[in-house]
Amino acid sequence: MAQQKVVMKVLTMTNEKTRQKAIEAASDILGLDSITADLSDQKLIVVGEMDTTALMKNLKKKIAGKIEALTIGPT
């Protein structure tokens, strides 16, 4: 797998508690280099060699919210 950058909008990420839950859910996936969460834009940015389908499924399962993939591509 190649290094990729995934930018997602997490509509339920509105406070520090949900931000932390999103980061913890993303960190369960193997091969990540960095995770950045921006509360003001409700964006979660994940960089690394990962299975994006597994990442999205895990986030939806763990934070039970609507997630939109904004961009998926090389870093």
Orientation angle between helical segments 52-63 and 16-27, nearest 10 degrees: 140
Low-confidence residues of the chain: pLDDT under 50:
none
Query: In CATH, what number is assigned to the domain containing residue 40?
Result: 3.30.70.100
Residue with token string 């859910």: 25
Backbone angles phi, psi at 49, to 5 degrees: -95, 100
The confidence score (pLDDT) of residue 30 equals: 93
The confidence score (pLDDT) of residue 2 equals: 84
Contact, 60 vs 44, CB < 8 A? no
Number of domains in the chain: 1
